[in-house]
Structure 1
Amino acid sequence: AVWGPGGTPVSEAFAGQAVTLELADQIDIGRGDLLARPANRPHVGQELDAMVCWFSPDTRLTPDARFTLQHTTRSTRAVVGRLDYRLDVNTLHRDENAPALTLNEIGRVRLRTQQPLLFDPYRRNRNTGSFILVDETTNNTVAAGMILGPSQNEASVVWHGGAVTRDQRPSRGMTVWLTGLSGSGKSSVAVEVERRLVASGRPAYLLDGDNLRHGLNADLGFSAADRAENVRRVAAVARLMADAGMVALVSLVSPYRADRDAARAAHEAAGLPFLEVFVDTPLAVCEARDPKGMYARARAGEIAHFTGIDDPYEAPQSPDLLLRPEDGDITAQAAIVLARMDRAER
């Protein structure tokens, strides 16, 4: 049951309301605990990586320094395990030999807390992904931090290489990343490219944005942070498929340039081909098609943060291939993509 002020029963509650919850089970709940959906649970742990900005002019952040860490409504003691690097905000250079952080300096640190925290990466949830550090002696706030995620122990989390090299696989893999507005024709082109590749005997698989939200990305919404995580996950899967010798065909709106650039960088770091295909269909044409009725709902105010309406789409500046409606029907555009793939592999 949910009770409002004065013990009045209410059928639902929203963020910002003060309510009392009566649970069906007898469980021990304390200050700082969270209620979460089973498929959308926060991380629980005592070791985390974070970016911090140092506020104090009188002290420094150094390894082994101890603080009180204030996270949501919970306070716990924390120790700085190490300072990974100091970031130069002007050049973005990472000084990995920096011994400390001083006033207004930003750096990446590893923290260990006395009590477990329930947290998310800051890019996903600002409330559960942020914290402050308080000096235990003066009680002054000396730093603010953004959680990157749980710490990975390099001794136990390593890449396990296989016995099969890329040259030993029957085919060479690559990722073809189709980006554009909803209704631009990305998925239709990708479906036809996949069909032709498989028919020719080449392994290929379509990673469609809508399909992936039924499983891999079912816990993500459409905020900028969730969109970035969506692209990161899909890029990781595509890279593995390309490494296995398959053609990964990604059909994803992927509206932000930085996220697409990160996907490309991940492939380049692994030595895998990556083709960015910009399906440049004008917004007016996409709206006229509106196969899922999403544009109409966005115009009516039923959907918020819809790309192209009230959320931006950052078009690629130098795509590997540009497709426009005048390039022909789906069959013709698929042929153009296949020809570009052939040139990339020569």
Structure 2
Amino acid sequence: MQVEVLFKNMKLNAKSASRLAVAPMMDWTDRHCRFFHRQLSRHTLLYTEMVTAPALVRGGALHLLAHDVAENPVALQLGGSDPTELAQAARLGWDAGYPEVNLNCGCPSDRVQSGSFGAVLMENPALVAEICAAMIAAGPAEVTVKCRIGVDDQTPEEVLPRFLDAIRAAGVTRVTIHARKAWLQGLSPKENRDIPPLDYALVTHMKATFPDMHIAVNGGVEDLDAASGFLDAGLDGVMVGRAAYHRPWDILARADSRIFGQPDPVQTRADAVARMLPYIERQMGQGTRLAQVTRHMLGLFAGQPGARQWRRVLSENAHKPGAGPELLETALEAVAQTV
């Protein structure tokens, strides 16, 4: 009973935290990145990189679920298209301590398309509904969906309401909508992040059409002013992607006060670095290389005097044998000499 109550509270915390979230990003939002982001914001919801259900269920790659309890609130994103396999993967996620499991219906990469999941699932809302129902039945983790407004020649005003209606009927109450189409033919994944036009008005209209659903917007959000604007317009949440990774201080260091009405955990970038040092020492003691952590910290001084020196010291030296936490102090000194 105690475990059930704890897990229920974790689900509630994740839902509350989803007012602002950092998007799941392949090769970026690994556990070291998430730990760093958590030092900047206590309340922002963090997501794992997408983990494929086959990797967990058939490949036994349970190490992909590893995370530090200090990352909470954190959600697991899954990719796949087989309802039974995704239900098993969702259960594994719950067993690993994730209060939310998110189904990827938005990634347009060739690898994802070849596995018939990601954005291609937008073409089959009935299958997505079946998948979501199976995942919900598998355990108590909340099942959410991240999708696009449509793919290829679909008419978003027609397909998106049908898609949302289908997943709502399956029991999904939270969805994050990337306000762009995904072009599965003709555009690369990188181009799909920029070229298709954003349609924020459609996402806002979906909130009016489905007032009982928790709807968050994703795509092109560059700062907290924009995030606040979407919340003021009635959306339930905002998910930020590349801006949060490349300019983590700008997005996260004042998120707690501006978005959640809570005190910010750090006041200076040097404070954030200091909070990372014990974690780096622990991780290096377990075989992690310094560069595996510091690569996620390169944008800490973005837009500030000394940003280039900070990046140079870390990028040129963190991979060298013998490099340790003291390199971050050297990088801070290089910044101070510039100011």
TM-score range, shorter chain: under 0.3
More helix per residue: 1 or 2?
Answer: 2
- TM-score normalized by the length of structure 2: 0.25
- TM-score normalized by the length of structure 1: 0.25
More strand per residue: 1 or 2?
Answer: 1
